[in-house]
Amino acid sequence: MPRKLLLPYKSVFSHFRAPRGLHDALAMNAARSGYRVFSANSTAACTELAKRITERLGAELGKSVVYQETNGETRVEIKESVRGQDIFIIQTIPRTCSFLCLPITEQQSPAATAFVTGWITLPLSLQWCETARVEILTFPPLCLDVNTAVMELLIMAYALKTSCARNIIGVIPYFPYSKQSKMRKRGSIVCKLLASMLAKAGLTHIITMDLHQKEIQGFFSFPVDNLRASPFLIQYIQEEIPDYRNAVIVAKSPDAAKRAQSYAERLRLGLAVIHGEAQCTEQDMDDGRHSPPMVKNATVHPGLELPLMMAKEKPPITVVGDVGGRIAIIVDDIIDDVESFVAAAEILKERGAYKIFVMATHGLLSADAPRLIEESSIDEVVVTNTVPHEVQKLQCPKIKTVDISLILSEAIRRIHNGESMAYLFRNITVDD
């Protein structure tokens, strides 16, 4: 009797062939997925930087809706699929804006018209100022506050995380709460708290610029690229200040000396440092190491007698370096309250500087900063567009802007393509 041939077992799926469309989908998934760029801001002024970045990338802003409900809550709606993609959220942190009073004169009327049509729809009031003999146009606040911007970023990141985005990268040119990166008395390190919140919301990477303290990068559990704006500001000095070879780089306090030294070495210029009792630095603030407060008539163990620390006494105001007959360029990372810059400009003017520039990365320009700058000895304030300040520019023509969207767009491109970021940090040192 002939033997039966034992054939291998065949299941019902042995002859199944995947349809052609499925093969294409698998090949697409195997290749690198695409990327989308979103803006988490709900105000038109804050989305300007995001539009510049997407124009350089040749992309369009992702479709999303960010708005404040009538009860004050923030709502974010993603209007397109983000599954398996690299998502970049550009969040420009605004400053808290107060009511804007803009004088309407013959010279400023075109700017005022552009301001009304481009930024704010309706003014609140138009009044005649008898003292200045001009009409004052009052506008409502333009920007949201910092906390609202942070919530917009957190909610959008979490919405993208639950929509199965592959990577969520936050592009935060000015990182909020960066000044609260040290313990003060019985306070808290708020910057560390914000880093934990961003990680919990779903962010996997952050691109920022000129952190107030470089040690802030250690607060995060994911990569942080801290880009530098100094190449753009140095280029502005070389191209826009005709006699910059006769300039001297000035640090308005000893804390800013390293940054000023870096600028001076790259421009081959001299260095000057302002030091004395007029300066109030972060190191002089109480850090709580003497708490709890001493109790009167408290018994002290004889073996625990510690040496008494002498109280600090600042010397009279001095300028270390020669600024007579030169252009003084004050450099720093943040311009917020400008009183210290105005005081430094007055001192430099007394020492013989004939022109004074202020250069900084982040122009917060809070409170009455535009008015104080306009009335001061400062000739020009140059900041980047990491923070929107179009309102302040209308109030003070001395404020100039340097665009840094080029380096942010290049960072986005390199991260998405998996390329090295070393090119963006060439010749950058720790002190920059």
Q: Residue 46 has what pLDDT?
A: 80
The residue type of 216 is: I
Judge whether residue 124 has pLDDT over 50: no
pLDDT digits (tens, 9 = 90+) for 370-425: 999 999 999 999 999 999 988 889 889 999 999 999 999 999 999 999 999 999 99
* Residue pLDDT, tens place only, 308-342: 777 777 788 889 999 999 999 999 999 998 999 99
Average pLDDT, the chain: 82
**Residue 91: closest CA among 51, 143, 39, 157:** 39
121 or 391, which is more confident: 391
Contact by Cβ (8 Å): 252, 335? no
Angle between helices 146-162 and 190-201 (to 10 degrees): 30
At a CB cut-off of 8 Å and minimum separation 6, what does 206 contact?
169, 170, 171, 172, 175, 198, 220, 222, 223, 224, 225
d(CA 156, CA 159): 5
Give CA angle at 113 (110, 119), nearest 5°: 130
DSSP states along 274-315: EESTT---GGGS--STTPSPPPTT----GGG-PPPPPPP-PP
Number of neighbours of residue 262 by Cβ within 10 angstroms: 21
Model confidence pLDDT, tens digit, residues 195-236: 999 999 999 999 999 999 999 999 999 999 999 999 999 999
Strands (E), 198-258: 205-209, 224-227, 247-251
- Sign of the torsion formed by the C-alpha atoms of 131, 134, 135 and 138: negative
Burial pattern 399-417, b for ≥16 Cβ within 10 A else e, equals: bebbebbebbbbbbebbbe
Asked if the model's pLDDT at residue 121 lies above 50, the reply is no
Closest to 153 in 3D by CA, of 70, 222, 85, 93 = 93
Q: Please write the tens of the pLDDT for every residue from 18-54.
A: 444 434 443 333 334 689 999 998 777 788 999 999 9
Contact 230, 263 (CB under 8 A): yes
The tokens describing 68, both together, are 């404040």
Could you identify the residue written with the tokens 């009335």? 375
